[in-house]
């Protein structure tokens, strides 16, 4: 479980840099600014790892596999041409193309520097892009940090249907509680998978392993930060109403109890770029890197995390703007 196609490790000077981008929402017929911003930030930052936080492709349905490959051949170049490992989680739009999540995922993982991995239906874990990426010390002797990816799915309707609710009568989650949404969330079996795997990682390494968690849709605790900006030291833009999962999955509480997740990073909200501190965990958005989708062009960009091998509990993060490299 705790391996990657390409070994990830801290630099000889003990540093490690991660660039996170979400909500590209592009096709092979793309806005040139989307590619230029992605490529320009990667060129400027020179990260050790790139994370794509979902809603990556906005393809049509007439030639889905072929169009996805044409798109990926273009938009993986900023990483592939520089031999930079990269990984992704699916967003709601990525799940929306009906040629199968397995085929979608297999195409991503076919790229030489893609280090994404996935859980399979026979694992009993819902979703596809659930993974742990171990980052080893500079000398390779042990795992020093981890990146967890969790699939936030698409709509909560499927979960409600399991309980025999008639959606035609309007009994959707979003109609039951004012101020919530119809988006799905990280399911309990995924949380249990993360929790158990995190404990296993600790046992195998003899100590807890600090981590970053990558999601598409944010947990409800992000809303606490937005409602309490001073108390949570919120830094950056919070211009879009939070559309989180329709129910509180308990993910944040589980991560807090494990004590390993030092930061979470999410997309889905194109005009939110902030980082805040809640219960000692950095809750971060990475905005939107795509210029064809909704949001504000002046806010396009991504998020950088800088780590130190000798202090993995305190990642430094900042937002980077596409406008600065165009």
Is 8-324 a CATH 3.60.21.10 domain? Answer: yes
pLDDT of residue 158: 55
pLDDT of residue 178: 44
pLDDT of residue 177: 45
Please give the structure tokens belonging to residue 142: 């042990």
The position carrying tokens 């109609």 is: 175
CB–CB of 208/259 below 8 Å? yes
Higher-confidence residue of 159 and 15: namely 15
Q: At 160, is the pLDDT very low, low, confident or very high (cuts 50, 70, 90)?
A: low
Over residues 82-103, the mean pLDDT reads: 87
pLDDT of residue 167: 42
pLDDT tens-digit readout, 134-154: 999 999 999 999 999 999 988
Q: Annotate 212-243 with DSSP letters as a single string.
A: EEE-SSPPTHHHHHHH-TTTTT-BS-B-S---
pLDDT of residue 103: 86
Return the minimum-mean-pLDDT range out of 57-66, 86-95, 138-147, 202-211.
57-66
Please state the domain extents for the chain: 8-324
Q: Annotate 9-27 with DSSP letters as a single string.
A: E--TTSEEEEEEE----B-
Please give the structure tokens belonging to residue 46: 């020179």
pLDDT of residue 120: 81
Residue 174 has pLDDT above 70, yes or no: no
pLDDT of residue 162: 54
Q: Coil, helix or strand for 69? A: helix
Over residues 306-316, the mean pLDDT reads: 98
By percentage, how much of the chain surpasses pLDDT 90? 75
pLDDT tens-digit readout, 239-265: 998 877 767 889 999 999 999 999 999
pLDDT of residue 49: 98
Which residues, 6 or more positions from 248, have their beta carbon under 8 angstroms from its beta carbon? Answer: 185, 219, 220
């Amino acid at each position: 479980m705790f391996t990657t196609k390409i070994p990830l490790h801290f630099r000889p000077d003990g540093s490690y840099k991660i660039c996170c981008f979400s909500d590209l929402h592009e096709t092979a017929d793309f806005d040139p600014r989307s590619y230029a911003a992605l490529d320009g930030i990667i060129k400027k930052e020179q990260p050790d790892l790139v994370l794509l936080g979902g809603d990556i492709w906005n393809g049509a349905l007439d030639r889905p596999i072929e169009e996805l490959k044409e798109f990926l051949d273009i938009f993986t170049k900023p990483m592939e041409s520089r031999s930079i490992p990269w990984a992704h989680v699916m967003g709601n739009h990525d799940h929306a193309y009906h040629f199968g999540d397995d085929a979608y995922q297999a195409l991503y993982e076919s790229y030489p520097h893609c280090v994404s991995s996935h859980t399979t239906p026979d694992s009993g874990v819902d979703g596809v892009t659930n993974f742990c990426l171990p980052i080893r010390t500079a000398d390779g002797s042990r795992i020093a940090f981890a990146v967890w990816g969790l699939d936030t799915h698409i709509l909560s309707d499927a979960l409600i249907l399991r309980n025999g609710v008639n959606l035609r009568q309007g009994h959707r989650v979003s109609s039951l509680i004012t101020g919530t949404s119809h988006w799905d969330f990280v399911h309990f079996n995924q949380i249990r998978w993360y929790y158990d795997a995190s404990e296993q990682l600790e046992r195998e390494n003899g100590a807890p392993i600090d981590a970053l968690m990558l999601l598409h849709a944010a947990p409800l605790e992000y809303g606490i930060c937005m409602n309490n900006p001073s108390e949570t030291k919120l830094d950056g833009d919070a211009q879009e109403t939070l559309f989180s999962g329709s129910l509180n999955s308990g993910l944040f509480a589980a991560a807090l109890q494990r004590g390993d997740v030092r930061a979470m990073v999410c997309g889905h909200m194109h005009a939110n770029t902030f980082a805040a501190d809640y219960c000692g965990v950095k809750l971060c958005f990475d905005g939107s890197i795509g210029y064809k989708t909704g949001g504000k062009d002046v806010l396009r960009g991504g998020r950088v995390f800088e780590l130190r091998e000798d202090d993995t509990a305190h990642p430094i993060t900042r937002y980077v703007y596409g406008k600065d490299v165009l």
